[in-house]
Amino acid sequence: MSKKNINKDPKIKELTKTELASRAIKNLTTAMEDIEKKNFRFMFFVMDTKGMPNGSLSYIYSTAKKLNDLGYKVCMLHAEKDFIGVGNWLGDEYAKLKHYNIESDAVKASPADFLIIPELYSNVMYQTMKLPCKRIVLLQSRNFMTEVIQPGSTWADYGIVDCITTSAPLENHVKDVFPVVRTNIVRPLVDLKKFGCDEPKKAFINIVTKSGGETSRIVKEFFWKQPAFKWVTFRDIKGLSKDEFSNALKESFATVWCDETTDFGVSALEAMAAGNVVVGRVPEEIPEWMADKEGNILDNGAWFYRMSDSSNVIANVIESFLMDSIPQEIYDKAAETAKYYSEDAFTEDIKRVYIETYVEGRKKELTTALGIAKNNLEKEKESE
């Protein structure tokens, strides 16, 4: 965030201690009134993926839209001169949220506002240290925590001690590396209405991986090892808009999902919601929805550990589908897994974390700060 946009008063050094205390009381009182009247903003710092679908960005926009639907003011902050946005893949309802360029727009933050910063942007955490608003880190990937932050530095060094994560394993990771940071979980959203489908499935197999090379390897090795299934159609659905992605899942009977570096894997859950059998490799960091509390892998998909086993597992799923012998238990457990991340669950988490924890908590912080400012004013008056 540009330093020129950080609130500064060139006359502030000329004020007496009494005047400073009086100003602080006025600002804090105004902030408390703004919170009571919902006259504050949730500000989300976002990257511009230049029109390419991105799961992490989708989560941020889903959060912002839900808060907006609940009657709270939201805005999206970015640093791109030629900002493309998410309209072509998430839809107009997300693109219409208020957007500001922090380099050119006069973005002012008040003590009543909340700024949510993705874990990748430690530079933004540093540059916003003097802002009066409440700042919160949003952690979706442990892999990005170390991208920009300086060795030896922590979020607390930037004045941030609150973090929102998407799962218990991520929450535990934060507690392990940054013990002073307070954490809360807001589960990702799986839109059961958008992905749910009761229509008969076709013999299509979707595939979602991190790279085209990984997709090519899985598909080619399958056809080499399973020549009897040359008629099967694989469709790479990575990079599709949300509507296209949804339609592809609803049409097919299975989705191959491989993401070794994921901390969650929403695509797999969306496939489950669409009634697909998910065929996937178990990642090194096992997502919470894939295993029980003891770490045992659940029967909510067809899982394998080695890439060399993918061909046999896919072939077994195809044979079972053609013979109508896929165990109902897989479908039931997959549906149960996806339901845990329903819109109702998402809304419940948003209210609990953003409203009950942060908004109400901010009221208490401002009340405490106001009390200190009043005491300081009384002391200064007595010393005059």
> Per the structure block, which two tokens stand in for 180?
């002073």
> And the tokens for 59?
């989560």
Mean pLDDT computed over every residue of the chain: 91
Are 236 and 283 contacting, i.e. CB atoms less than 8 angstroms apart?
no
CA–chain centroid gap for 191, Å, is 15
* pLDDT of 2 above 80: no
Q: Where in the sequence is the domain holding 269, given as residue range(s)?
A: 192-339
The predicted-structure confidence for 62-99, as pLDDT tens digits, reads as follows 999 999 999 999 999 998 888 999 999 999 999 999 99
Question: Is residue 257 domain-shared with residue 204, that is, in the same domain?
Answer: yes
Same domain assignment for residues 156 and 207: no
Q: Are residues 30 and 179 in the same domain?
A: yes
List, for residues 151-164, the tens digit of each pLDDT value.
888 999 999 999 99
**Mean pLDDT confidence for 239-266:** 92
The segment with the largest mean pLDDT, out of 14-18, 107-111, 122-126, 183-187, is 183-187
CATH of the domain at 362: 3.40.50.2000
Average pLDDT over residues 224-247: 94
How many CB atoms within 10 Å of residue 3? 9
Residues 236, 161: one domain? no
- Return the closest-CA partner of residue 102 out of 117, 87, 112: 117
Residues 86, 149 within the same domain: yes
> Of 306, 323, 339, which residue constitutes the final position of a domain?
339
DSSP 195-222: H---SPPEEEEEEEES-HHHHHHHHHHH
Q: Are residues 159 and 11 in the same domain?
A: yes
User: pLDDT > 70: what percent of the chain?
Assistant: 95
Containing 138, the helix (H) or strand (E) segment is strand 134-139
- Let me know whether 60 and 72 are in one domain: yes
Q: Look at the chain and report how many structural domains it folds into.
A: 2
**pLDDT given at position 286:** 92
